[in-house]
Amino acid sequence: MIVLKGISKTYASVAALRDVNLSIPDGSIYGIIGRSGAGKSTLLRIMSLLETPDSGEVYYDAERVDTLRGRELLERRRKMGMIFQNFNLLGSRNAAANIAYPLEIAGLHKKVIDQRVDELLELVDIKDKRRARLRELSGGQKQRVAIARALAATPQALFCDEATSSLDPQTTRSILSLIRDLQQRLKITVILITHQMEVIREICHDVAVLDEGTIVEQGTVASVFEAPQTQAARELIHA
Ligand SMILES: Nc1ncnc2c1ncn2[C@@H]1O[C@H](COP(=O)(O)OP(=O)(O)OP(=O)(O)O)[C@@H](O)[C@H]1O
Ligand SMILES: [Mg+2]
């Protein structure tokens, strides 16, 4: 369970998050929606410990994690995978070497890394692209490389920030079905930000609606989408 208690974050004069409380059960696929600037990416960065809140607390199960520093923080971050809209891959490295990167940083032996990279390529179904340069890969294949890299250190949570937003509808569906499949096989928790409502309908169990830094609505996708209670949610869902 990932628990946020009273999280606030302000940049200069912008209140990006205000008193956010959220609990994400293990093994769920949790969607976060909200208009541009609502604070979604900020929330994801705080949850994944890339950023510290001004106030509030972040817990992974019983452990408070927002106060971790140094080595403990690095080790905790290794237990989280992240994927983005623009993939964030290293252009100088081929597919396999991108996936190997976090394992190299973790200081594993080459033989162990090679074996793990093989498993990961198989897991995301691009075994034949092992040596491909990035420019030889489609968007969907690049996102598969990014997913494999995110999963390299067997994280307990996978954070997705607009991971399918630059993909066409068919490729989006194939990446979503991969994410759903991986969630079930690896028993990870997936936290997913998107402006694509069909993505939420397709794979999320629960959803939270952020508006101007505040969670204005949360619940099962069925309940929120069938009967949105706030103007902010209605605008997103019926847009
Ligand atoms: N590093 C930063 N420095 C200054 N302001 C920031 C920073 N990061 C975010 N903000 C501000 O905080 C608010 C929330 O930004 P955030 O990126 O979390 O929104 P978002 O919901 O992810 O939007 P989008 O859908 O456009 O990605 C915005 O007003 C943004 O300008
Ligand atoms: Mg964002």
Going from the C-alpha of 40 to that of each of 36, 56, 135, the distances in angstroms are 8, 17, 30
Q: How much is the mean pLDDT over the chain? A: 96
What pLDDT score was predicted for residue 163? 97
pTM of the model as a whole:
0.96
What pLDDT score was predicted for residue 162? 97
What is the Cα–Cα distance from 160 to 195, expressed in whole angstroms?
Answer: 12
CB of 39 sitting under 6 A from ligand 1: yes
Distance 124 CA to ligand 1 centre (A): 31
Q: Name the 3-class secondary structure at 195.
A: coil
What pLDDT score was predicted for residue 136? 97
Nearest CA-CA partner of 10 in 67, 54, 57, 50: 54
CB of 194 sitting under 6 A from ligand 1: no
Cβ atoms 162, 194 nearer than 8 A = yes
Span 22-44, pLDDT tens digits: 999 999 999 999 999 999 999 99
What pLDDT score was predicted for residue 72? 95
Is pLDDT of 114 > 90?
Answer: yes
SS3 content of the chain, % helix, strand, coil (to 5): 40, 25, 35
Phi-psi region of 61 (alpha: psi -120 to 50; beta: other; left: phi over 0): left
Cβ atoms 236, 197 nearer than 8 A = yes
Is pLDDT of 49 > 80?
Answer: yes
CB of 38 sitting under 6 A from ligand 1: yes
Residue with the smallest CA separation from ligand 1 atom 27 is 36
* DSSP code of residue 135: G
Q: Which residues contact 150 (CB under 8 A, 6 or more apart)?
A: 81, 82, 83, 158
What proportion of the chain, given as a percentage, has pLDDT over 70? 100
What is the Cα–Cα distance from 233 to 149, expressed in whole angstroms?
Answer: 33
b/e burial code for range 22-52 (CB count within 10 A of at least 16 → b): bebeeebbbbbbbeeebbbbbbbbbbbbeee
Is pLDDT of 104 > 90?
Answer: yes
Residue with the smallest CA separation from ligand 1 atom 25 is 36
Question: What mean pLDDT do residues 112-123 have?
Answer: 98
Is pLDDT of 213 > 90?
Answer: yes
Q: Which residues contact 223 (CB under 8 A, 6 or more apart)?
A: none
What proportion of the chain, given as a percentage, has pLDDT over 90? 97
Nearest CA-CA partner of 214 in 18, 9, 46: 18
CA dihedral sign, ordered 126, 204, 68, 154? negative
The kind and range of the H/E element at 124 are none
Q: Find the ligand nearest to 195 CA.
A: 1
Question: What mean pLDDT do residues 4-19 have?
Answer: 97
**Which residue among 7, 8, 14 is best mutated to probe the pocket of ligand 1, counting the most ligand atoms within 8 A of its Cβ?**
14
CB of 213 sitting under 6 A from ligand 1: no
Give the pLDDT band of residue 223 (cuts 50, 70, 90). Answer: very high
Question: What mean pLDDT do residues 117-127 have?
Answer: 97
Give the pLDDT band of residue 64 (cuts 50, 70, 90). Answer: very high
Q: What are the residue ranges of helices labelled H in 57-196?
A: 70-77, 95-105, 110-123, 139-151, 169-186
Question: What mean pLDDT do residues 121-139 have?
Answer: 97
Ligand 1 atom nearest 12 alpha carbon? 4
Give the pLDDT band of residue 238 (cuts 50, 70, 90). Answer: confident
Q: Dihedrals φ, ψ of 204, to 5°?
A: -85, 145
Span 157-212, pLDDT tens digits: 999 999 999 999 999 999 999 999 999 999 999 999 999 999 999 999 999 999 99
